[in-house]
A and B are shown apart, each in its own frame.
Chain A
Amino acid sequence: MKKSNLLLIMIFVGLTLLMSACVPGPRVVDAPGLALDETDVFIAYSSFVYSLDGSNGAVNWVYPDKASTQIVFYAPPLVTEDAVYIGDLAREFHKLDKATGAEIWSFSDAEGFYLGQAAIYDGMIFAPNNDGVLYAINAEGALAWKFETGHYLWAQPQIADDTIYIGSMDNFVYALSLDGEEIWSTELAGAVTGAPLLSEDGSLLFAGSLDGKMVALDTATGDFVWTYDADQSVWGTSIIADGKLIFADSVGNIYAVTTENGEALWQTMVSGEVVGGVSSMDDGFVVATKEGQLQTFDFDGGTKWQASVNGEFYQAPVANSDFLVAGMINGDELVIGFNLTGVQLWSTTPEK
Chain B
Amino acid sequence: MSDETLEARLKRLIVDRLFLQIPPSEIEDDKKLVQDYGVDSVSLFELVVGLEEEFGIRIEDREFHLRHFESVSALARFVRAKLDAASPAAPTASS
The judgment on whether A and B are partners is: no
